[in-house]
Amino acid sequence: MVLCTGALPAVQQALHSVEAGGTVLFFAPTAPGDDAPFPLFELWNKQVTIVSTYAGSLEDINTAIELITTKKVIVVDMISHTLPLSEAAKGFQLVAKAKDSMKVILEP
């Protein structure tokens, strides 16, 4: 399971939804200072692996946070498509072509 948002409800859903033996990849961080309780026994019992990604230097991340918090970059404007989960295949096609899309959101 790839978690592409740091939204706490999504974090909780991912941790409770991952199948036995599965992996949760945290692709996006939560907001600084946000804590997310997680079902440690359940994850241990199901032998779940939790991993994260890291794609930028601390300086790059701090610059990005500054640009977002000062509204010099409006990230919501980067969302080119919002689709229902039932259209996930279309969303993946849009991203793969990378012609008419910047950020595709799938909503349950």
pTM (global) more than 0.85:
no
Q: In 10 A of CB 24, how many CB atoms?
A: 20
Average pLDDT, integer, range 60-89: 92
Mean of per-residue pLDDT scores for the chain: 90
pLDDT for the residue 20: 96
pLDDT at 6: 86
Angstrom CA distances, 12 to 30, 59, 73, 106, stand at: 12, 29, 28, 17
pLDDT single digits (tens) 83-92: 999 999 999 8
Write out the CATH class of domain 1-55.
alpha beta
Mean per-residue pLDDT, 4-18 = 90
